[in-house]
A = this chain, B = another copy of it.
Amino acid sequence: MKILVPDSDKKRIIIVGGGFGGLALADKLCNGIFQVVLIDRHNYHQFQPLLYQVASAGLEPSAISFPFRKNFRKKKEFYFRMTEVTKINSDKHSIETPIGSLDYDYLVIAAGTTTNFFGNEVIKKVALPMKSVEEAINLRNTLLINLEKALDSHDSQKRRSLLNIVIVGGGATGVEIAGALSEMKRYILPEDYPDLKDEEMNIYLIEGSDRLLAVMSEEASAHALRFLTDMGITVILNKHAIDYRDGNVILSDGESLLTNTLIWVSGVIAERFDNISPELMGHGGRLLVNEFNQLQGYRDIFAIGDICLQTEATYPKGHPQVAPVAIQQGELLAENLKRMEQGELLKPFMYKDKGTLATVGRNKAVADIKKIRLQGFLAWAVWLLVHLRSILGVKNKLMVLFNWIWNYVMYDQSVRFIFRSNPKH
């Protein structure tokens, strides 16, 4: 069965995934010489850098989400389908999904990555990942439910396990969620849960390497560590979480941490598709592409963003898996696809690194911008501006800005609702 997309005299490009890369590509391709089909398992683009604020009840999920159909209104020859690509038949130039198959002239894989549990099924079962808006909502629900349960547990052991939070992974996401939760503990807990003693709640941040924010400068790592320690987070370096037993997270040195809430942001692995041979995959399952983002050995299949592994002189091991790389690759690929059609030479990708930012809390952030190192209020202000600028849509910008001002002035992460939801049909 075929997916219902009308045939066209234009060549068809299928883009798999509407993250930063896929969206940048589609935006540039639309109303051009191609028919564009975007496939995503959600009906909206999610602004991942702010997921942690949804999880910590600072922002509405809708504030960091943008419906694809709204974004591509009025675009001719554009088609969105909410489904998943299960299989790529490169010989037949077609993809397969639960709602049918579809032929392509060009295929762009921009499906990104998923949480890496390193094959640990126990941890996969209990841990709370934070890669999607829905996972962030689940985390928010779980955190709030645990607080309510803690109030009613007669057993102090159980209460501590409901209140303790263990975050595994000291990258930007881990640092940011740790900071947000420590502020929740400091500003919300005493107000909303006066019956809970805050010494019963401990927040741990576990990082396997010897520093936080490994992709950033030593200075940034040091400042982030100091900020978090000052905020009451117990940061544990050089240890891995290897198991979860009897309600405890077990660390590589045997230490065990009692908790009901294991937040897992310790690594990612590329999304997988059938029929893509392992030789085409590098570290973390990333698809090996050339300087034009062409999948090795293919002329009509491309991969961009977190899912691809592309090397250049300054990045011999590949680019960092961050939004700017994906966006720049998407924009260049749009140009290159047009060049291919006009038989022109393709431009090789070169990443322009504008810098790296991570925020820890109120007035606390770290920034590496070229050779400049910022921390504290200034870095925090830069972080706010950069993120506000990047959020899709005027309404979302206003909503986020309004919520940020509100939360900042009121010391209040105000979206503390337990909303469960599952469509009936």
> Footprint of B on A, CB under 8 Å?
1, 3-4, 42-44, 60-62, 65, 67, 69-70, 73-74, 79, 81-83, 99-100, 126, 128, 133-134, 137-138, 141-142, 144-146, 148, 151-152, 154, 191-193, 195, 260-261, 395, 398-399, 402, 406, 412, 414-425
Contact = CB atoms under 8 A, between A and B. Distances in A.
Contacts of A62: 60, 415, 417
| 8 shortest interchain CB distances as A-B pairs | A69-B192, A141-B423, A137-B421, A82-B148, A99-B152, A142-B423, A60-B60, A67-B416
B422 A43 contact: no
Nearest to A69: B192
A417 B44 contact: yes
A406 B62 CA distance: 15
A26 to B, nearest CB: 16
A416 B3 contact: no
Contacts of A191: 69-70, 73-74
B60 A421 contact: no
A414 B70 contact: yes
A148 B399 CA distance: 27
A224 to B, nearest CB: 28
Contacts of A145: 423, 425
Nearest to A143: B423
Contacts of A67: 192, 414, 416-417
Given A67-B417, A82-B148, A83-B152, 17 more contacts: A43-B416, A44-B417, A65-B419, A67-B192, A67-B416, A69-B192, A70-B191, A70-B412, A70-B416, A73-B191, A81-B148, A82-B418, A146-B425, A261-B425, A395-B406, A402-B402, A420-B423
A154 B193 CA distance: 54
Contacts of A422: 138, 141, 420-422
A134 B416 contact: no
Contacts of A81: 148, 151-152
Contacts of A60: 60, 62
A218 to B, nearest CB: 36
Contacts of A144: 43
A185 to B, nearest CB: 15
Contacts of A42: 418
A195 B6 CA distance: 10
B421 A134 contact: yes
A191 B67 CA distance: 12
A82 B191 CA distance: 17
Contacts of A416: 43-44, 67, 69-70
Contact of A425 (B154, B260, B424): B260
Contact of A100 (B43, B137, B148, B152): B152
Nearest to A4: B152
A422 B423 CA distance: 11
Contacts of A418: 42-44, 82, 423
Nearest to A75: B194
Given A43-B416, A192-B73, A406-B395, A425 B133 contact: no
A41 to B, nearest CB: 10
Q: Which of A133, A144, A406, A419 has the most CB of B within 10 A?
A: A419
Nearest to A129: B424
A261 to B, nearest CB: 8
A423 B138 contact: yes
12 contacts: A43-B417, A70-B412, A79-B195, A82-B418, A100-B152, A133-B417, A133-B419, A137-B419, A142-B423, A260-B425, A261-B425, A420-B423
Nearest to A61: B419
A421 B138 contact: yes
A352 B213 CA distance: 62
A62 B415 CA distance: 7
